[in-house]
């Protein structure tokens, strides 16, 4: 087992309609104790798994959903086969009602087959459920930092005992433990090399995951993980608790009860027209990574100057009318720059 003892900071007295602004601007994770304890779904789950499942059934739209199917031998860890040639589970579209029945059929098994419904948009699969089981993300912080169009994206995660290995998301996140219990193990973004990410082109959910099995870390094979453990943080969520995870923080999520439901909110306050930063990484892999080391070092200075340093530095010595895209991009400039990039990439 990982030897991580530091606990995520706890914030109490939050409610779904009154989350303090400092939560959204925090650069560290926060455990929001009891944030959603009054949700009807939480109360149903506290009564019994069967009652929570009946509530879900009552809102289910009937649409088939992507479902992760894994063998009991995986012990719920959604990762790779030993030779990393494929994932250790398969994804099939299925009726959520059928999946709920399967979970119930095996709910008392010591090692049940894995059934996991991951990140389905709640209003598509359970329309109306979020009316009384939701958060209000408006006012305060979001008046000064408007959400992207379509955000927040509200997802629902349903399954039995599963582990989503450590990964990062390119959005900020509030994850609400509605039924069952969850354990989160988190690391700051600068720990990437100590977490030994897996392939970029074969991932369980879109982002690279750690190759380290936290339940039995092999420190001979992954020695730098010991350094990651020294700065890791842990949060254990009961039903009704929630956790705020800042954008780009690495996190492993363990659903530790026989039946678990999580509802999460993902958002960006960055204009959608500017595109996703992951596209920059992919382009850099294509265009920069394999260049000579001296050339790459020169490009590091270029990126530090234009991108990672003071955003005003590159244009402050120029007349205002000459700064162009060195100023904060407006919508028209962003669209023009995207069009230029697409045109050049297609040559």
pLDDT tens sequence across 212-234: 999 999 999 999 999 999 999 99
Query: How much is the pLDDT for 138?
Result: 76
Residue among 197, 206, 321, 225 at smallest CA distance from 1: 225
Query: How much is the pLDDT for 345?
Result: 84
Query: How much is the pLDDT for 256?
Result: 96
Query: How much is the pLDDT for 224?
Result: 98
Q: Retrieve residue 131's tokens.
A: 């009316």
How far apart (Å, rounded) are the C-alpha atoms in residues 152 and 326? 29
Q: Residue 252: beta bridge partners?
A: 185
Question: What would you report as the CA-atom Rg of the chain, rounded to the nearest whole angstrom?
Answer: 22
Query: How much is the pLDDT for 35?
Result: 98
Regions in the chain scoring below 70 on pLDDT: 1, 139
Decide the pairing of beta strands 172-179 and 89-94. Answer: unpaired
Query: How much is the pLDDT for 96?
Result: 97
How does the average pLDDT of the chain come out, rounded?
94
How far apart (Å, rounded) are the C-alpha atoms in residues 105 and 102? 5
Residue among 58, 43, 52 at smallest CA distance from 104: 52
Sheet of 250-255, strands arranged across:
162-167, 250-255, 182-187, 233-237
Q: What is the per-residue pLDDT across 2-34, written as a single tens digit (0 to 9) for each?
A: 789 999 999 998 999 999 989 999 999 999 999
How far apart (Å, rounded) are the C-alpha atoms in residues 191 and 173? 19
Query: How much is the pLDDT for 1?
Result: 65
Three-state SS sequence of the chain: CCCCCCECEEECCCECCECCHHHHCCCCCEEECCCCCCCHHHHHHHHCHHHHHHHHHHHCCCCCEEEEEECHHHCCECCECCCCCCECEEEEEECHHHHHHHHHHCCCCCCCCEEEEEEEEHHHHCCCHHHHCCCCCCCCHHHHCCCCCCCCEEEEEEECCEEEEEECCCCEEEEEEEECCEEEEEECHHHHHHHCECCCCCCCCCCCCECCCCCCCCCCCCCCHHHHHHHCEEEEECCCCEEEECCCCEEEEEECCCCEEEEEEEECCCCHHHCCHHHHHHHHHHHCCCCCHHHHHHHHHHHHHHHHCCCCCCCCCCCHHHCHHHCCCCHHHHHHHHHHHHHHHCC
Q: What is the per-residue pLDDT across 87-102, written as a single tens digit (0 to 9) for each?
A: 999 999 999 999 999 9
Decide the pairing of beta strands 172-179 and 260-267. Answer: antiparallel
Query: How much is the pLDDT for 270?
Result: 78
Phi, psi for residue 297 in degrees, rounded to 5:
-65, -40
């Amino acid at each position: 087992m990982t030897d991580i003892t530091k606990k995520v900071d706890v914030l109490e007295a939050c409610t779904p309609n009154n989350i303090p602004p400092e939560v959204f601007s925090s650069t560290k994770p926060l455990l929001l104790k009891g944030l959603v304890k009054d949700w009807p779904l939480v109360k149903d789950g506290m009564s019994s798994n069967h009652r929570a499942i009946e509530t879900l059934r009552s809102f289910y739209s009937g649409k088939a959903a992507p479902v992760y199917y894994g063998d009991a031998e995986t012990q719920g860890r959604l990762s790779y086969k030993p030779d990393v040639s494929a994932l250790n589970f398969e994804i099939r579209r299925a009726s959520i009602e059928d999946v709920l029945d399967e979970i119930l059929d095996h709910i008392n098994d010591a090692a049940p087959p894995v059934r996991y419904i991951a990140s389905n948009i709640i209003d598509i699969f359970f329309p109306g459920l979020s009316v009384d089981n939701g958060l209000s993300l408006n006012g305060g912080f979001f008046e000064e930092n408007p959400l992207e169009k379509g955000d927040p994206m509200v997802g629902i995660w349903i399954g039995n005992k599963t582990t989503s290995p450590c990964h990062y998301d390119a959005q900020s996140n509030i994850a609400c433990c509605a039924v069952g219990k969850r354990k989160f193990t988190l690391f700051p973004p600068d720990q990437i090399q100590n977490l030994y990410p897996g392939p970029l082109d074969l991932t369980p959910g879109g982002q690279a995951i750690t190759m380290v099995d936290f339940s039995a870390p092999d420190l001979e094979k992954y020695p730098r993980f010991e350094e990651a453990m020294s700065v890791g943080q842990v949060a254990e969520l009961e039903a009704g608790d929630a956790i705020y995870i800042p954008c780009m923080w690495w996190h492993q999520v363990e659903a530790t009860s026989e039946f678990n439901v999580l509802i999460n909110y993902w958002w960006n306050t960055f204009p959608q027209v500017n595109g996703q930063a992951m596209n920059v990484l992919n382009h850099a892999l294509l265009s920069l990574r394999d260049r000579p080391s001296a050339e790459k070092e020169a490009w590091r200075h270029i990126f530090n100057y234009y991108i990672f340093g003071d955003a005003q530095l590159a244009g402050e010595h120029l007349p205002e009318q000459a700064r162009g895209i060195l100023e904060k991009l407006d919508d028209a400039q962003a669209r023009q720059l995207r069009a230029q990039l697409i045109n050049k990439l297609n040559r």
